[in-house]
Structure 1
Amino acid sequence: MQRRSVLKGLLGLATMPFWMVIQKVQAATWFAQAFDAKQTSDVLAALQATAVPVSPNIQIEAPQKAENGAVVQVEISSNQPAGSISSLRLLADANPTPLIASFELGKQVLPKLVTRIKLAQSGDLIALAQQNGGQFQQQRRSVIVLEDGCAGSEREEPFASSMKMRARPLEDGPLGKGIVELKIIIVHPMRTGRSKNDDGVLMPAHFMQLMQVLLNGKLIVDVQTGTGIARNPYFTFYVKDARVGDVIAVNWQDNRGFEGHSQVTVST
């Protein structure tokens, strides 16, 4: 569901549960200073994260070699318990704009997530974790990129979007007990503004900026994204103490005013 005019937006909100409307109104402003920065040092300065120590508590899983930089799956995780880390940020040091995404995590959400990103060239991935007390930790992983994923050519098509979600309980295991795995995929072009159409003309940037995940009306994940998230954004989160029958809703908004809303019930 997309809305570009105020009138259509109000009509859309009228059909939504009241708590979804409240969370939409309270959505955060996109952090332009950090996402527009061209150097990793400028991103870290904008995030007020300087002299950050490397920590074995943070892990990055990513391929050593990326055949196609346009779609690279990355997992960030920490061995610390849910509620101990307030945010995870992902950067690609060699991208034209290094900050890829920022994830603010509620106390029920494990510090573990999966997404797919674009890499322009070989360099370091940086996972930046912020503790509840404000301290930062980081981890780095080098990835060799064989094909630039941030430019190239794309077919120009009318915009249409949809969203699929799945939420299911996991068996008790290394992640603990009572964990629900939430998978989200959103159909979206995620254009960087550096790709060209078939006629060689630069295509304007069109990318998702904000996403919120709500559990039974309570905000549990607040996401900001830049142009480094891969086409058709994909995310996996892990929620503690969610139960079968609980309702998880997702709202998103992009840089051109389009938005989407969907929800799923936790089921086996």
Structure 2
Amino acid sequence: MRIAPRLALILSLLAGPVLAQEVENPLLPSPLWDDLRLSIIGTEDEPPLDPSVLLLDAPKRADNPALVPVRITQPPGAPAITQLVLVVDGNPAPVAAEFSFGKALMPLDFEVRIRVNTYSDLRAIATLEDGRQVMAGRYVKASGGCAAPAGKSMDEVRATMGEMRFRQSDEAGRPFGTLMIRHPNFSGLQRDQVSLLTIPAEFIQVLEVRQGETPLFTMEAGISISEDPVFRFAHAPGQGAVTVHAQDTEGRVWDQSF
């Protein structure tokens, strides 16, 4: 008769760390977001947090505020997402990027690295096929990411700008693509370490990725996407080459096929 209570206690203790991890750094009340909501998503209504549709993972405390990993996922069977906006409430330009996703990426499993300038909520607001909006997010402790010095010399930046690499892998029977692009993505808040002058903003503004005739995703970005951006995404098996079109704020264009 006493086995059941003991078993329940053991199971609750085992489950404790898992539950703690799930809510380790949830979104916090944000006056900044209250002011931004209408201009960013077009409504004062707060999108619901619905983990059955959308999840976002980011570290509680970032090792590098200029390279904060963000992973946005959906459980199997979740309704398809058509658009998503990634927001860092406390950044000088809060909208990090706006994404459009093709059906080949559903259910979504998408990773990107961003800059975080101050302790802040980091949130993703997704628009579903039926027009509903849902939200997911985390509170991230990071500081100074938008003004962090570039990781390379200006000569190296100019010599490698626009170079791309693409790698395919397979996880649990699902293809994953990893796209890497060489670009400093200057935020406009950084200083040249030699001249100490402010470096003007210069970043990849438009990115389009397709496989054959099938759209995978597009991005319209701001200053918060990291230097040398990396995008990792699951997608349905497809036919044809993966093609990438990138354009930065200076009007430079790079096109490559893999």
Task: Output the TM-score relative to the length of structure 1.
Answer: 0.75
Give the SS at the match of 2:233: strand
Q: Distance in 1 between matches of 2:191 and 2:220?
A: 25
The alignment status of 1:86 with 2:87, answered yes or no, reads: no
Tell me the amino acid that sits aligned with residue 48 of structure 1.
Answer: G
CA deviation digits over 1:219-261, x for unaligned, max 9?
2211111110010010011111326xx3111111010011211
Report the CA distance between 1:114 and its aligned residue.
Answer: 0.3
Report the CA distance between 1:71 and its aligned residue.
Answer: 0.7
Give the SS at the match of 2:225: coil
Give the SS at the match of 1:220: strand
CA deviation digits over 1:92-116, x for unaligned, max 9?
1111111111111111112220011
Is the CA contact (8 Å cut-off) linking 1:83 and 1:107 kept in structure 2?
no
Give the SS at the match of 1:113: strand
The alignment status of 1:60 with 2:56, answered yes or no, reads: yes
Give the SS at the match of 1:66: coil
The alignment status of 1:50 with 2:44, answered yes or no, reads: yes
Pick aligned residue for 1:188 from 178, 183, 203: 183
Equivalent pairs counted in the alignment come to 217
Q: Distance in 1 between matches of 2:171 and 2:81?
A: 22
Specify the alignment match of 2:154 in structure 1: 156
CA deviation digits over 1:164-198, x for unaligned, max 9?
001234333xxxxxx32111000000000011113
Bigger radius of gyration: 2
Give the SS at the match of 1:89: strand
Specify the alignment match of 2:243 in structure 1: 249
Q: Distance in 1 between matches of 2:148 and 2:217?
A: 32
Is the CA contact (8 Å cut-off) linking 2:164 and 2:182 kept in structure 1?
yes
Give the SS at the match of 1:94: coil
Q: Distance in 1 between matches of 2:105 and 2:148?
A: 36
Tell me the amino acid that sits aligned with residue 208 of structure 1.
Answer: I
Specify the alignment match of 2:101 in structure 1: 105
Gaps of 5+ in 2: 1-31
Specify the alignment match of 2:125 in structure 1: 128
Is the CA contact (8 Å cut-off) linking 2:37 and 2:44 kept in structure 1?
no
Q: Distance in 1 between matches of 2:238 and 2:149?
A: 42
Tell me the amino acid that sits aligned with residue 94 of structure 2.
Answer: P
Report the CA distance between 1:55 and its aligned residue.
Answer: 1.7
Report the CA distance between 1:127 and its aligned residue.
Answer: 1.2
Specify the alignment match of 1:76 in structure 2: 72
Report the CA distance between 1:43 and its aligned residue.
Answer: 5.9
Report the CA distance between 1:129 and its aligned residue.
Answer: 1.0
What is the root-mean-square deviation in Å for CA atoms of aligned residues? 2.0
Specify the alignment match of 1:14 in structure 2: none
Tell me the amino acid that sits aligned with residue 256 of structure 1.
Answer: E
Report the CA distance between 1:83 and its aligned residue.
Answer: 6.5
Specify the alignment match of 1:206 in structure 2: 202
Q: Distance in 1 between matches of 2:216 and 2:227?
A: 24
Q: Distance in 2 between matches of 1:248 and 1:169?
A: 16
Is the CA contact (8 Å cut-off) linking 1:105 and 1:222 kept in structure 2?
yes
Is the CA contact (8 Å cut-off) linking 1:93 and 1:125 kept in structure 2?
yes
1 or 2, which has the higher helix percentage?
A: 2
Is the CA contact (8 Å cut-off) linking 2:204 and 2:247 kept in structure 1?
yes
Give the SS at the match of 1:108: helix
Q: Distance in 2 between matches of 1:204 and 1:43?
A: 28
Give the SS at the match of 2:134: strand
Tell me the amino acid that sits aligned with residue 182 of structure 1.
Answer: G
CA deviation digits over 1:138-159, x for unaligned, max 9?
11211111x4111144443352
Specify the alignment match of 1:220 in structure 2: 216
Is the CA contact (8 Å cut-off) linking 2:57 and 2:137 kept in structure 1?
no
Specify the alignment match of 1:171 in structure 2: 172
Specify the alignment match of 2:256 in structure 1: 262
